[in-house]
Amino acid sequence: MTNQAEQVTTQLKALADPVRMRLIELCRQGECSVSDLTRVIGLSQPRISQHLKQLCDAGILQRYRDGKWVFYRVAARRSSDGATQRHLLELIPGDDPVFRRDIERLAELRGERVASADPGDAPERLGDRVLFKALVELTVTEHLGDLLDVGCGRGQILKLLGSRAHRAIGVDIDSDSRRLARAELMLAGLPNCSLRGGDMYRLPFADAEFDTIILDDVLVGAKHPVRVLTEARRVLKPKGRLIVLLAVGQQSPVELQSRLAAWSATAGLRVAPAMLTPRINPQWILSVATDPDRQSVAA
């Protein structure tokens, strides 16, 4: 048999088990830890781990570590292999009462996690409708593609834009924020969104991986803002866009724009004129940067 035929055979064997089908349906809702899956399915952790290993070996699930936790999600593919896998997963009857109860239980667990969080953990800007409106207007006519939010916090921008992206990944250094963001994104019905721990100076991604990158108010407090921009430029696709958000705070908007222009020039980026939000007594600066060298090569 060909490699593809062997892979399909392996995947069919992996699907031929009720527990593994339940695990797949849960992981289609978003990233799930072994602890989540154990609590929902009601089997021991070793047994759940054995089933998960078989699903990963078959290429149906992906496994990755985030700090001390290990998470699983349905493997994302774009090739013909991905189409084959999608057809196989469509064989699972998602409206089965057992699957529906599992998903409801997972949502309850995530809801408890969000409800137990300290409201003070959420930055004040999360309720800033003016900022969100400006972000939507800035991106509504553009293809988001693969989206990266650096400094994502509890994932509010991912919730805002994630449904329009092929996939969306949030990076934050704070594990508690990632934990809450993961729960809120699942409750929001955004299985294409995921969270990663990461250093903004050394992002855990390949070169030219993202169409849209958001630097979510991380530059002003950074010791080396040029290095942050240079690293973002590395993972930006040739025709991609880098959206920079800066909170004005006690600083002059004119001074912030000048600093951003200088940092961007040093990092080899071309920055567009900034958008002040709101225009009167601005609280935020939004600006779009591109890589002129790589855009010209791509053209």
Among 76, 98, 115, give the residue marking a domain's end: 115
Residues 240 and 271 in one domain: yes
Kindly state whether residues 101 and 221 are assigned to the same domain.
no
Backbone phi, psi, residue 206, to 5°: -75, 165
> Does 28 share its domain with 76?
yes
Same domain, 95 and 175: no
Cα distances (angstroms) measured from residue 239 to each of 87, 232, 270: 32, 13, 12
| Contact between 59 and 11 (Cβ < 8 Å) | yes
> Exposure string (b/e) for 202-226, b if CB count within 10 Å is 16 or more?
ebebeebbbbbbbbbbbbeebeebb
Residue with the larger pLDDT of the pair 159 and 94: 159
Cβ proximity of 235 and 178 under 8 Å: no
Same domain, 135 and 250: yes
Whether residue 142 is found in the same domain as residue 109: no
- Among 83, 115, 147, the domain-final residue is 115
- The reply to whether 40 and 84 lie within a common domain is yes
Confidence of residue 7 (pLDDT cuts 50, 70, 90): confident
Looking at residue 270, its pLDDT comes to 95
The boundaries of the domain holding residue 206 are: 124-298
Q: What is the pLDDT of residue 3?
A: 74
Q: What is the CATH number of the domain that holds 138?
A: 3.40.50.150
Within 10 A of 291 (CB to CB), how many other CB atoms are there? 24
pLDDT classification of 78: cutoffs 50, 70, 90:
low
- pTM as predicted: 0.85
Q: Of the spans 63-67, 262-266, 276-280, which averages the highest pLDDT?
A: 262-266
Tens of pLDDT, residue by residue over 215-257, are: 999 999 999 999 999 999 999 999 999 999 999 887 889 999 9
DSSP for residue 202: B
| CATH number for position 68 | 1.10.10.10
Do 62 and 139 reside in the same domain of the chain? no
Are 64 and 146 found together in one domain? no
Is pLDDT above 60 for 120?
no
Q: What's the pLDDT tens digit per position in 152-189?
A: 999 999 999 999 999 999 999 999 899 899 999 999 99
Regarding whether 136 and 105 lie in a shared domain, the answer is no
Are 104 and 136 found together in one domain? no
Question: What is the rounded average pLDDT for all residues in the chain?
Answer: 88
Say if residue 91 is in the same domain as residue 31: yes
What three-state secondary structure class fits 98?
helix
CA gap 257, 168 in Å, rounded? 27
- The total number of structural domains in the chain stands at 2
Choose one of 86, 115, 144: the last residue of a domain. Answer: 115
Strand partners, 271: 289
